[in-house]
Amino acid sequence: MTIFIESIMAFFEVAIKFAPKFLPAVALTLQLSFLSILLGTVFGLFVMLLKLTRLKVLEKITDVYISIVRGTPLLLQLYFIFYGLPMLGLEFDSFTSAVIGLAFHSGAYISEIFRGAINGVHYGQEEAGKAIGMNRLQIFYYITLPQAVKQAIPALGNQFIIAVKDSSLASVITITETMLIARQFVAATYNPFPILFVAGCYYYLIISLLSFGLRDIERRLKVNER
């Protein structure tokens, strides 16, 4: 019994000792997540707009982009940007590569989420806009988009959560974010459990806060429902 308690004490001793040492790496995880969500959303909106132009060429390009992103692993995409693109003369530092890769990746999913949400807005809404003399752009901006964004929030939130966890893959291109630092600490101490436990706690904390924020947004957007 005492051995059990002692080992638990030892576990938390290591965990508490290492927890503060994670902070710079957690900050990087936050930066990566934030930028990939932000840029991914902007990029996703942009891709969706290209698709909405109904121009065949643009539609084809976005289709190819989405199918490539969805058809290959993110890990491979990151390797390609970090190791492959320099061979074509496009060289970025590792942080930029990671942000580009993650945003490029989530952008594809986010554009599909937006597209689905826009298709989900009842056609009568567009007709009502037309009937008061609005043009296509005005209908999109004042009527379709606000309703679509609201529809998209739950799926979008899911994608944001995935983006936070996907940022851990940036460790493979030498970014010392939470997962990489955890591996380094493990290598230094040969004590994986408490260290991985701390890493897990940080991810859980970040995602819990994000979920909380998303729930709050959903709640606020519900004011127009009964």
Partner 1 sequence: MNDKIILKINNLHMNFGALEVLKGINLDVYEGEVISIIGGSGSGKSTLLRCINGLERKNKGDIIFEGKAVKRDYTKLRERIGMVFQHFYLFPHRKIIDNISLGPRVVKHTSKEEAKLQARKLLEKVGLEDKENVYPAMISGGQKQRVAIARALAMNPDIMLFDEPTSALDPELVGEVLQVIQQLAKEGMTMLIVTHEMGFAKEVSDRVIFLSEGQIAEMGTPEEIFENPQNENLKRFIQSIY
Binding site for partner 1 (CB under 8 A): 122, 124-125, 127-128, 130-135, 138, 142-143, 146-147, 150, 223-226
CB atoms within 10 A of CB 196: 16
Minimum CB separation of residue 53 from partner 1 in Å reads 18
CA distances from 27 to 18, 20, 32, 64, 177 (A): 15, 12, 9, 34, 8
Radius of gyration of the chain measured on its C-alpha atoms:
22
Residue 1 or 137: the one with the smaller Cβ distance to partner 1 is 137
Residue 20 or 133: the one with the smaller Cβ distance to partner 1 is 133
Minimum CB separation of residue 154 from partner 1 in Å reads 16
Minimum CB separation of residue 54 from partner 1 in Å reads 16
Residue 30 or 143: the one with the smaller Cβ distance to partner 1 is 143
Residue 91 or 127: the one with the smaller Cβ distance to partner 1 is 127
Which pair of structure tokens corresponds to residue 15?
A: 């965990």
Q: What number of residues does the chain have?
A: 226
Helix, strand, or coil (residue 174): coil
Minimum CB separation of residue 116 from partner 1 in Å reads 18
DSSP label of 80:
I
CA distances from 68 to 35, 65, 73, 89, 104 (A): 22, 5, 9, 22, 11
Residue 67 or 119: the one with the smaller Cβ distance to partner 1 is 119
Which pair of structure tokens corresponds to residue 131?
A: 């009937």
Minimum CB separation of residue 201 from partner 1 in Å reads 39
Cβ atoms 111, 44 nearer than 8 A: yes
Sign for the CA dihedral angle at 16, 19, 21, 23 comes to negative
